Structures are given as C-alpha cells and as structure tokens.
C-alpha cells in the first residue's frame, strides 16, 4: 500500500511539492503554463482544502478517490477535503489553473456551507466537467479576477470579493454540468436508466437480495462504473427521479408481483426482497402506493 500523506496546510503542500510559499496561507493560485511538468506532494495525499482545477493533460496522471484520470480532454475537476489525491508527472497540452482553498478560508462565510451543496465534489475524476471554448473563457475570466485581487494589497474587502468569484465558478460549473447531463441524455437516450433497471433485475433474479439485503445506491453506482452522486444527478436529469427513487420503485414492483403470484406471507416477501424487518417494507410500500401490502394483496385476490 502506497504511503498517504496528510497536509493540514496549503503551505505544507507547497513545500513538499517544491513550490514557493503561497501569498496567502489559506489560498493558493497556480497557472500551469504550456507543457509544464506538474506533480503534487510526495505521494498520494489528503488535505484540509478544496481543489478546483482546469486543465488539459498531455501526459502523466491524476488520481482522485479510486479513479485515475489520464485522457487529454479539456476539463475541470473538483476535489474535496480529505479525499485521496495523487498528481504525478503531469504535462499540460495547454494552459490550465489550479486553485486550493483551505476550509478555514471559508469560515464565517455563506460559502462554508454552500460549497457542500455542489454535488460534483463527490464525483469521480473520470466524471469531470468538459467545457466548450466559450465556457472555458468564462472560467478564465473569473480566475483572472481572483488572481488580480489575490496579488493586490489585501484589505477588508478582499476575502469577500475572492470568495464571490469562487462561488461564481461553482455556480457556472453547476450550470455547465447540467448542460453536460442534457447533452449526454440526448446521445444515450435513456441508456443509463435501462442499464440501471437491468442491474436491479439481475440482483433480484439471482437471489442477491436474500444474501446481501436491499441494493444500495453505492452498489448500483459501482455496477455502472459511476460515483453514487454522479449516478443520482444523471438519473435526476434523465428521469426526474433519484437513484434511490428508482430502487424503491423497482422494489415495490417486485413486491407487487410476489404478493399476487405466491402464497408467501407479507413478512416472507419482505425478507426475500432483502428488507431487515417487515415494518420497514410496509412503510415503504404504503409510501409508494398509498396502501399497505395487506390491502394490496386483499384487493388482488378480491
């Protein structure tokens, strides 16, 4: 197992990477010039800071979570505190930027909580945001505004101005991810939900529910080679329902079939489907259908 370092400060990360100390202890801005070789830290690492990066990789790799990113499409990636990162011998095909923001820099500001609402910090790195040239220019304009403020003499307004620009980057990224989901949906035409349904069907047909319990969003995401947050956001865009919603809908569909096609008791059906107790099964069934399993079985046999 490779060593995983933890950096409590951005200054420590800079030191271990061989970079000059940042101008602000809680904020670092770096522009990666054309074909510049770029590595971070001494090994795989975690840190108490967020990372926002725009880049187009020519060679080398970035690891985030469990996934390596090594293709050369222009993209943005977003990394959250205490997630495993490795950046090794990266060469950029064109100019990029990296912003490190320490958690403490957000303290007392609305963005301290607001940043947690941007789900793409939970995505795997292969689910990066791919920008059009016009979108990329918007990001560069915001980065340049941050840099101008960062390099000027700081005053009582500097932090709020910088954080407002960072918040704009995050808001635009939300918008652009939404566009990416729409574009993807046009091309795949419900492909994700079809695969999702196939995985669920196989789970119940093979009796995995009896052995492993209810299928989880994490399990489904793993089977589809997606992060759980990306899967949920993609399904929400395609269908208006989350991954958990679709699991529940499929569960109740399976339950209805088994309630009417066998003499199995309500408890027996619940356990067969993977529920730990019949009461939870009854609550979910009523939430989805408006009636209890007993009422449904009675109606079907009437």
User: Is the per-residue pLDDT at 179 higher than 60?
Assistant: yes
pLDDT of residue 24 exceeding 80: yes
In the predicted model, what is the mean pLDDT of residues 205-226? 88
Is 80 exceeded by the pLDDT of residue 66?
no
Task: Name the nearest CA neighbour of 220 among 247, 181, 238, 250.
Answer: 247
- What is the pTM assigned to this prediction? 0.69
- The per-residue pLDDT of the chain, averaged, comes to 84
- CB-based contact 82:127 (threshold 8 Å): no
Q: Alpha-carbon distance 177 to 75, whole Å?
A: 11
Q: What angle do CA 258, 262, 266 make, to 5 degrees?
A: 65
Please tell me the predicted confidence (pLDDT) of residue 72: 47
Percentage of the chain exceeding pLDDT 90: 29
d(CA 175, CA 181): 10
Lowest average pLDDT, out of 148-152, 161-165, 171-175, 183-187, goes to 183-187
Residue ranges per structural domain of the chain = 4-187, 191-301
For range 224-242, the mean pLDDT: 84
Nearest to 100 by CA among 170, 34, 11: 11
pLDDT at residue 98 tops 70: yes
| 34 pLDDT more than 60 | no
How far apart CA 95 and CA 76 sit, in angstroms, is: 13
Least confident range from 10-24, 37-51, 129-143, 207-221: namely 37-51
Quote the CA–CA distance of 54 and 122 in Å, as a whole number: 17
As given in the structure block, the two tokens for residue 38 are: 């770029």
Q: Which segment of 33-47, 78-92, 205-219 scores lowest on mean pLDDT? A: 33-47
Whether residue 35 is predicted with pLDDT greater than 60 in this model: the reply is no
Strands 85-92 and 37-38, bridge-based pairing: antiparallel
Range 4-187 classified under CATH 2.60.120.280: yes
Q: What is the pLDDT of residue 90?
A: 72
Q: Which of 122-131, 142-151, 220-229 has the lowest mean pLDDT?
A: 122-131
**Assigned CATH topology for domain 191-301:** Arc Repressor Mutant, subunit A (1.10.10)
Q: pLDDT digit string (tens) for 131-164?
A: 888 998 999 999 999 999 998 867 889 999 999 9
Distance from C-alpha of 232 to C-alpha of 168, rounded to nearest angstrom: 24
On the question of pLDDT at 83 being above 60, the answer is yes
Asked if pLDDT for residue 165 goes beyond 90, the answer is yes
The rounded percent of the chain whose pLDDT value lies above 70 is 86
């Amino acid at each position: 197992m490779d060593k995983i370092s933890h950096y409590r400060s951005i200054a420590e990360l800079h030191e271990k990477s061989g970079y000059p100390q940042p101008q602000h202890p809680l904020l670092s801005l770096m522009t990666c010039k054309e074909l510049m070789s770029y590595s971070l830290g001494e090994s795989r690492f975690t840190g108490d800071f967020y990372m926002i990066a725009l880049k187009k990789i020519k060679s080398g790799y970035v690891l985030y979570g469990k996934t390596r990113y090594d293709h050369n499409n222009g993209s943005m990636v977003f990394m959250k505190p205490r997630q495993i990162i490795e950046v090794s011998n990266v060469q950029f095909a064109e100019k990029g930027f990296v912003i490190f923001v320490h958690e403490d820099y957000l303290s007392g500001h609305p963005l301290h909580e607001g940043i947690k609402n941007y789900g793409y910090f939970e995505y795997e790195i292969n689910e990066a945001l791919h920008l059009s040239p016009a979108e990329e220019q918007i990001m560069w304009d915001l980065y340049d505004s941050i840099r101008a403020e960062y390099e000027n003499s700081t005053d009582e307004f500097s932090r709020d101005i910088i954080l407002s620009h960072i918040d704009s980057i995050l808001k635009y990224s939300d918008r652009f991810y939404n566009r990416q989901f729409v574009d993807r949906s046009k091309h795949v035409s419900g492909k994700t939900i079809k695969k999702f349904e196939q995985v669920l069907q196989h789970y119940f047909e093979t009796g995995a529910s009896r052995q492993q319990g209810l299928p989880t969003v994490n399990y489904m995401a793993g089977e589809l080679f997606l992060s759980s947050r990306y899967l949920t956001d993609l399904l929400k865009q395609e269908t208006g329902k989350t991954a958990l919603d679709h699991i529940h809908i499929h569960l109740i569909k399976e339950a209805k079939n088994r309630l009417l096609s066998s003499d199995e008791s309500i408890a027996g059906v619940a356990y067969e489907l993977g529920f730990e107790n019949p009461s939870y099964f009854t609550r979910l069934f009523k939430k989805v259908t408006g009636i209890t399993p007993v009422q449904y079985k009675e109606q079907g046999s009437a």
